Structure 1
Amino acid sequence: MLNRNENSPHIALFPSAGMGHLTPFLRLASMLLSHKDCHLTLITGHPTVSDTESSYISYFLSQNPEVNHIQLQIIPFHGSNPTTDDPFFLQFEATRRSAHLLHPLLSSTSPPLSALFSDFVVASTVSPIAADLGIPNYIVATTSAKFFCLMAYLPTLLSNVAELSRIPEVKIPGLTPLQISSIPPPFKDPDHLFTAQLATNALALSAAKGILINTFDGFESETLAAANDGRVLTHLPSFLPTGPLEPYELNKEQMQHCLSWLDRKPAESVVYVSFGSRTAMSNDQIRELSKGLERSGYHFLWVLKTSKVDRDDKEELKDLLGYSFLERTEKSGMVVKGWVNQQEILDHPAIGGFINHCGWNSVMEAARRGIPMLAWPQHGDQMVNAEIVKDAGLGIWERKWGWGVEALLDGEEIAERIGELMGNEKLKSNARKVGEEARKASGVDGSSEKVLMGVIEFLKQQKN
């Protein structure tokens, strides 16, 4: 029975490119729908970079026909910036430059909009639209609170970019210093497209009503306190922790072969290996990882990618790993290609550890279940996130491994770390405690639900 009426707020959600950005928005939308007291509009860019984004958008809308859908035609970006050919960075910029087309589409919605929940990477163009419509804009952070603070502080760092090549650590007021090795290399180049995008959007943060962030106080207490006390930057809006975001209903048919395989494995006996939706390992590293998994002696479920964009991922498993490996590990391991419902895998009792790049959605999914992690950062926010994982007691991280794209790790060392991941009882105990705190935050009447309900109540009052 729907409780929506003329006083129910109407919220438009606007994610940017990539599953790492789309997933938290769809989860947030699902949580809002579960309260049955909001009208929702989902804005999606067209065309998408990956086929997975398109299929997940379609499935979500088919399962939630009450959600209004606005498809924004993205104007292709053909800039002269030579610093990157990353298709997602290019789509971020194209989306940001196309966002002005939203104004007439949003001004004519019925009922009228009450608020925008928009991606940080479109903040500079969405903020003026929200102001002109007379509605608040909430930024949805798709990373950790600590990395978001780094992005917010980026214009300050870039004001003296020469210093970044000399200092051993970056000191953000109120936060534990970050080692310079944890800073994404593009941040040291103000002309890099990604850096320029983030710096431009950081300058628009003061216009936002709040920052909706997929984390919880027990996991990032220092950062949340510093940000909300005004110690990081005085103009930052309130950080509103809403995590771990609850999973939403997905198509389970495509997962059945993985789940059936897991059903036949003992509790906490399987290592789950995945490096996210846009991390492609070199063939040499794939072979070393396969050696490490086999030598470890543990069961494993490995989601393998060889290209950043799924529609370009053409190589066969037999060509990547060899027939002999697949035959030797037929009973102990499963290797799959393509997108999987990761939360459902992590929820399975057979999973005992998680080897991961530390994309923030993956971190929160592991935290929600209390699954120990072996952090192996590849790029972007992931080294900052890995440090959070280690400090919170959720996982282990070898800083000397550096960025995964820069060095070739030996299979023997990987096997040793897998042994530590799966056999360290103190790590398992600490991870379980993280899981208990996470579920308490995201459960009924938990802190995350209260934050989200507080936003909805504020929007209702604004309508009256």
Structure 2
Amino acid sequence: MKEAIVLYPAATSHQMISMVELAKLILQHHPNISITILVAIMPSDTSPISTYISSISQTSLPISFLSLPPPSENPPGPAAAATLGKAAFDYIRLYTPKVLDVLKAISLTSTVLAFIISTFGITYDTLIPTYLYFTSGASSFASILYLPAIHNQTTKSFKDLPNNTPLHFPGLPPIKPSHLPEPLLDRDHPAYQEFFSLGTLLPNLKGMILNTFDMLEPQAIKAITEGACVPKGSTPPLYCIGPRIVDAKQRGASDDALSKCLLWLDKQPSQSVVFLCFGRKGAFSAPQLKEIAFGLERSKQRFMWVVRNPPPNSDTEPDLEELLPEGFLERTKERGLVLKSWAPQAAILSHQAGGGVVTHCGGTQCLKQ
């Protein structure tokens, strides 16, 4: 039988794009292996994922996409998905029986060498070697891997611990409890429970794949590989494959969108433009957007700013005239460019006109910088 690898990304467009990049890497080293990507879609991400899959399907890449039938239960609303609500996790978990059925079907005609997932906290009862692909860095991964251990050191939520008592995660500098991501502050929060479940399941996997590299995060990687993050168990092998970065063309961006940005940057002095971009989930409220606009205008600084609609409608195209202060676009048009929802970050960050970045410090953006 032919050899195959099955990939199953979490149900977001970012995770799908990252999995396709992993598939490309596998095919570079093993061109004869069959690659199948299972597709589970949250309703809020249907259009971006479908558009991206369509663009990949039109290439010569030997990657097959297999859409899983959606659960019969009502999907969570955009707010639940955006805030990592319990309904969002429960909905994705409903795909599990369908995933197992597909794996059994593929195994009838192929030898499945690996099942690679990026979904959180879900156990797949299969004899196929299972790996987790974590698309962020080793530092955040080390904290998740160590979460069960630090969880058992106290009965309190992190938000209830004294802020002058730092937490110690292997491979990371001391962290004040209040500096942890918001979903981790309350141990009763659904997202905390999902991260805790993931940390519990990780030692049982065949291996862990990270989009990072040793020179970027040497201490965190060393802590993971030496077993410091799983003090009472074994740590699976760690594979660092980064940096895997997707450029605008690979994302299916239009030539017009790319050209608009680059043509504007070409007209700016060297190292003069501040780029403001806060990732796909980095949406601000309407009052916050106005405050950022006021600050940019008063700074007299050249800028390029990516604006998303306020939540829960951050995936829809923003009306800039309505969101920004009256006359802002006209007053700043000679030194500023405001983009709707998206920008070709890799191209912008590598342009000589770039002079600074204001960002949410997401893992992918850090790799691009």
Question: Which range, TM-score by smaller chain?
Answer: 0.7 to 0.9
Which residue of structure 1 aligns with residue 23 of structure 2? 29
Residues 11 and 38 in structure 1, CA contact (< 8 A), matched pair in contact too: yes
Which residue of structure 2 aligns with residue 223 of structure 1? 220
Alignment of 1:294-373 (within 5 A): 294-308=297-311, 313=316, 315-366=318-369
Alignment of 1:357-396 (within 5 A): 357-366=360-369
Which residue of structure 2 aligns with residue 293 of structure 1? 296
TM-superposed deviation, 1:69:
0.9
Instruction: Pick closer, same or farther for the CA change 1:69–1:86 going to 2, 3 Å.
Output: closer
Aligned match of 1:206 in 200, 203, 207? 203
Alignment of 1:35-74 (within 5 A): 35=29, 36-50=31-45, 51-64=47-60, 66-74=62-70
Separation of aligned partners in 2, 1:54 and 1:292: 37
Residues 320-340 of structure 1: per-residue CA shift (max 9 Å, x gap): 113421011112111111233
1:146 aligns with 2:139: yes
Separation of aligned partners in 2, 1:173 and 1:152: 10
Q: What runs of 5+ residues in structure 2 fail to find an aligned partner?
A: none
1:197 aligns with 2:198: no
Instruction: Pick closer, same or farther for the CA change 1:49–1:304 going to 2, 3 Å.
Output: same
Separation of aligned partners in 2, 1:272 and 1:37: 42
Instruction: Pick closer, same or farther for the CA change 1:255–1:196 going to 2, 3 Å.
Output: same
Q: Aligned pair count? A: 351
AA aligned to 1:166 is L
> What secondary structure, in the 3-state scheme, does the structure 2 residue paired with 1:49 have?
helix
> What secondary structure, in the 3-state scheme, does the structure 2 residue paired with 1:125 have?
coil
Separation of aligned partners in 2, 1:175 and 1:357: 19
Instruction: Pick closer, same or farther for the CA change 1:95–1:262 going to 2, 3 Å.
Output: same
1:136 aligns with 2:132: no
TM-superposed deviation, 1:186:
2.6
Residues 40 and 95 in structure 2, CA contact (< 8 A), matched pair in contact too: no
1:245 aligns with 2:244: yes
Deviates most, 221-230 or 348-357: 348-357
Residues 214 and 241 in structure 1, CA contact (< 8 A), matched pair in contact too: yes
Aligned match of 1:11 in 5, 9, 14? 5
Output the aligned Cα RMSD: 2.6
Which residue of structure 2 aligns with residue 451 of structure 1? none
1:265 aligns with 2:261: no
Instruction: Pick closer, same or farther for the CA change 1:111–1:79 going to 2, 3 Å.
Output: closer
TM-superposed deviation, 1:57:
2.5
Instruction: Pick closer, same or farther for the CA change 1:97–1:149 going to 2, 3 Å.
Output: farther
AA aligned to 1:236 is T
More helix per residue: 1
Residues 310 and 338 in structure 1, CA contact (< 8 A), matched pair in contact too: no
Which residue of structure 1 aligns with residue 91 of structure 2? 94
Instruction: Pick closer, same or farther for the CA change 1:64–1:34 going to 2, 3 Å.
Output: same
Percent identical:
28
TM-superposed deviation, 1:350:
2.4
Alignment of 1:404-423 (within 5 A): none
AA aligned to 1:259 is L
Residues 317 and 340 in structure 2, CA contact (< 8 A), matched pair in contact too: no
Instruction: Pick closer, same or farther for the CA change 1:65–1:220 going to 2, 3 Å.
Output: closer
> What secondary structure, in the 3-state scheme, does the structure 1 residue paired with 2:279 have?
coil
Residues 345-388 of structure 1: per-residue CA shift (max 9 Å, x gap): 3233322322111121111111xxxxxxxxxxxxxxxxxxxxxx
Normalising by structure 1, what TM-score? 0.69
Q: What runs of 5+ residues in structure 1 fail to find an aligned partner?
A: 1-5, 367-464
TM-superposed deviation, 1:313:
3.1
TM-superposed deviation, 1:229:
0.7
Residues 171 and 221 in structure 2, CA contact (< 8 A), matched pair in contact too: no
TM-superposed deviation, 1:240:
1.6
TM-superposed deviation, 1:305:
1.0
Residues 18 and 88 in structure 1, CA contact (< 8 A), matched pair in contact too: no
AA aligned to 2:251 is L
Separation of aligned partners in 2, 1:142 and 1:52: 18
Residues 216 and 241 in structure 1, CA contact (< 8 A), matched pair in contact too: yes
> What secondary structure, in the 3-state scheme, does the structure 2 residue paired with 1:240 have?
strand
